[in-house]
Amino acid sequence: MDQTKIDALRAQPVPAFSHLIEGKHVPASDGGTMDILSPIDGQVLTTTAKGTAADMEAAIASARAAFEDRRWAGQPPAARKKVLMKWADLIEANALELAVLGVRDNGTEIGMALKAEPGSAAGTIRYYAEALDKIYGEIAPTPSNFLGMIHKEPVGVVGAIIPWNFPMMIGAWKLGPALAIGNSVVLKPSETASLSLMKMCDLALEAGLPPGVLNAVTGEGKVVGEAMGLSMDIDVLVFTGSGGTGRRLMEYAARSNMKRVYLELGGKSPHIIFADAPNLDEAAKVAAGGIFRNSGQVCVAGSRLLVEASIHDDFVAAVAKAAEAMRVGDPLKVDTAIGAVNSEVQLEQNLGFVETAQSEGGQVVTGGGRILQDTGGYYMAPTIVTGVTPDATLTQKEVFGPVLGVTSFSTDDEAVQIANATVYGLAGGVWTSNLSRAHRMVRDVRTGVMHVNTYGGADGTVPLGGVGQSGNGSDKSLHAIQKYINLKTAWIKL
C-alpha cells in the first residue's frame, strides 16, 4: 500500500450522498439529511439523505417494475454475466478509493479494509457471475406418460439490510447471488456506514445494470428499515445484524405478506485451545487477531477464549503480549493493526461490558479503557478479561468490540459444554494435534463454521450461516443462491 496515495484520497472532501432510485440520485422526499461522523476523529465527514417511508416505497416500486418488465431477469445468462463481471472489474479498479472512503466512514484499519471490502466484494460478484449460467432446472423421475419439470426462477424483489462493519463485503454476499439469478434488489445500508456501499452501487450502473434493478435508500432503521420489512412488495428479506432487529423483521414479515426472512445475527464464538496445539505461539497470535482486528467488530470474532487449565496462565500471557504489540490508532496509517470503534455509542457499550465483567468477578489482564481521546475519535485498547464463568454476561452477551473473555476447562466434554453454553452458534475454533479430538469438536460444538488450527479467513467457496439465535440460511458459496430462487413444478401429461 502507498501511504502517499492514501493520504491524498483522505484529503479529498466527501460529497453529500443521496438515495439511488431508478438509476438516479434523489434526495429524501422531505429534504432531510443525516450527518455522518468519522470514527477517526469524531468530525462530520459528509451527509446522507435521511430517508422516509415514502422514499423506501418509491425504491421498492422501482424494483418491482424492473422485475415485472424483465429488463434484467429476461436477459440471457451470458448478458447478466457480462454486466456482473464488468462490475467486479470496476470495483477492483477503484479499490483504494473505495477502501479509503469506507475507512473514513467506519474506522476499519486500511490493511484489512482493502482486502475485506473491495477485494472481497469484487471476488464475490465475480464468483456468482461465473455460477449463474450453471444453475439448471431438473427433470423428475415420473411415470412414462407424464413429464415432471422443476424450474428455478428468481423470487422477485429482494430487500437487503446491511451492517456497518463490512458494508461492501456483506453487501456483495447478498447482491451477488440475488442479482445473478435475475432478481431486483433494494438496499438499506447502515446509517453509520453507507458511503462505500452506495459508491459500489453507482459502479453497478456504470457496468450496465439497468436502472431500477438495484435501488438504495439511506436512513434510520426505525423508519426505512421498518417500511421495507412491512412492504407487501418485498418477496425475500435478508439481514445481517443484531438479534433484536432480526426479531422485529420477522414480526414485520408476519404482519405483512409473510415474506421469507433470512438472518445472519450475532455470535459469541468459542476459540478452544488444547495443550497439545501444534504451535501455541501461533495460536496465541491468531487468537489475538481473531478478536481484536477491526476492533472486534466482526460477526465471527473469537470473543470467548477457552483454554485448557494446564496451560491457562502461560497462554493468556502470550495472547496479552500479542495484543499489546498490535498498534491501535489512525486506521488510514498502513502500520496500524487495530482501527477505530465505529461510533461513540458502540464504544460506550464496549466499556460498559468491561465494567460488568469486573463486577461479576472477572479480572482485566490488559486494556479495559478508552485511549487516544485527544484525537476526538473512538478508540479502545484491546481488552482481555480472565475468570469469566459460563453464565457471566461476557459469555452470554455479544459485545461486538475488542473485548476477549477467557474461561479455563479441564476435559474435552467440559470444553464442549462451555462452548455450547450460549444461545448463539455462528463460529468457533479449536487448536489440537489430535485428529480424533479435532473431528469430535467439529461434530459436537453447535456452530455454523468451525475452524481447526486456524481462525477466520474461510473463502467464498464455503457457506457462512448460524444455528440457534445466530440466524438461519447461509451467505457465501453456491448454497446462498437457494435463498433467491423459487422452485416451480411443471406437471405435463404426454
Q: From CA 474, how far away is CA 481, in angstroms rounded?
A: 9
Tell whether the model's pLDDT for residue 48 goes beyond 90: yes
What pTM value is reported for the model?
A: 0.97
Q: Which domains does the chain have, with CATH numbers?
A: 3-265+471-491 (3.40.605.10), 270-459 (3.40.309.10)
Q: From CA 307, how far away is CA 284, in angstroms rounded?
A: 11
Q: Which residue has the cell 479495559?
A: 368
Sign of the torsion angle spanned by Cα atoms 41, 171, 130, 85: negative
The predicted-structure confidence for 146-171, as pLDDT tens digits, reads as follows 999 999 999 999 999 999 999 999 99
Answer yes or no: are the C-beta atoms of 116 and 298 closer than 8 Å.
no
Tell whether the model's pLDDT for residue 268 goes beyond 90: yes
Tell whether the model's pLDDT for residue 457 goes beyond 90: no
- C-alpha cell belonging to residue 141: 423421475
- Paired with 184 in beta bridges are 157
Answer yes or no: are the C-beta atoms of 305 and 273 closer than 8 Å.
yes
390: left (phi over 0), alpha (psi -120 to 50) or beta: alpha
pLDDT number for residue 1: 81
Q: Which residue has the cell 477503484?
A: 94
- C-alpha cell belonging to residue 329: 490508532
Answer yes or no: are the C-beta atoms of 179 and 209 closer than 8 Å.
yes
Task: Write the DSSP string, 115-158.
Answer: IIIIIHHHHHHHHHHHHGGG---EE----TTEEEEEEEEE-SEE
Q: From CA 57, how far away is CA 357, in angstroms rounded?
A: 44
Task: Write the DSSP string, 149-204.
Answer: EEEEEE-SEEEEE--SSSHHHHHHHHHHHHHHHT-EEEEE-BTTB-HHHHHHHHHH
| 392 Cβ contact list (under 8 Å, min separation 6) | 357, 360, 361, 362, 405
Nearest of 357, 290, 351 to residue 326 by alpha carbon: 290
Q: From CA 328, how far away is CA 330, in angstroms rounded?
A: 7
Q: From CA 47, how far away is CA 414, in angstroms rounded?
A: 51
The predicted-structure confidence for 280-295, as pLDDT tens digits, reads as follows 999 999 999 999 999 9
Sign of the torsion angle spanned by Cα atoms 276, 282, 283, 284: positive
- pLDDT mean over 471-485: 97
Nearest of 336, 370, 377 to residue 41 by alpha carbon: 377
- pLDDT mean over 201-228: 98
The predicted-structure confidence for 74-94, as pLDDT tens digits, reads as follows 999 999 999 999 999 999 999
Candidate list 22, 109, 191, 264, residue with the active-site label:
264
109 is catalytic: no
Burial label, 307 (beta-carbon count in 10 A; 0-12, 13-18, 19+): buried
Nearest of 305, 10, 75 to residue 209 by alpha carbon: 75
What's the whole-number average pLDDT of the chain?
98
Q: Which residue has the cell 483454554?
A: 307
The predicted-structure confidence for 169-200, as pLDDT tens digits, reads as follows 999 999 999 999 999 999 999 999 999 999 99
Coil vs helix vs strand at 493: strand
The predicted-structure confidence for 335-374, as pLDDT tens digits, reads as follows 999 999 999 999 999 999 999 999 999 999 999 999 999 9
